[in-house]
A and B are shown apart, each in its own frame.
Chain A
Amino acid sequence: MARVVGVDIPPHKRLEIGLTYIFGVGRTTALELCKKLSLDPGMKIRDLSEVQLRDLAELLRKDYTVEGELRRSLAADITRLRDIACYRGLRHRRGLPVRGQRTRTNARTRKGPKRTVAGKKSVKGMK
Chain B
Amino acid sequence: MSRSIKKGPYVDAKLAKKVDKQIASGKKEPIKTWARACTVTPDFVGLVFMVHDGRKHIKVQVTEDMVGHKLGEFAPTRVFRGHTNKKEAQKNR
Contact = CB atoms under 8 A, between A and B. Distances in A.
Interface of A: 80, 83-88, 90, 117-119
B34 interface: no
Q: Is the interface of B mostly helix, strand, loop or mixed?
A: helix
A15 B74 CA distance: 46
A84 B71 CA distance: 12
Contacts, number: 21
A117 B76 CA distance: 26
A80 B65 contact: yes
Contact of B66 (A86, A87, A117): A86
A90 B76 contact: yes
A90 B78 CA distance: 12
Contacts of B66: 84, 86
A80 B68 CA distance: 13
Nearest to B67: A84
A41 to B, nearest CB: 32
Contact of A88 (B63, B72, B73, B86): B73
A84 B74 contact: yes
Of listed B72, B73, B83, B86, residue having the most chain A CB within 10 A: B73
Contacts of B76: 87, 90
Contacts of A86: 66, 69, 73-74
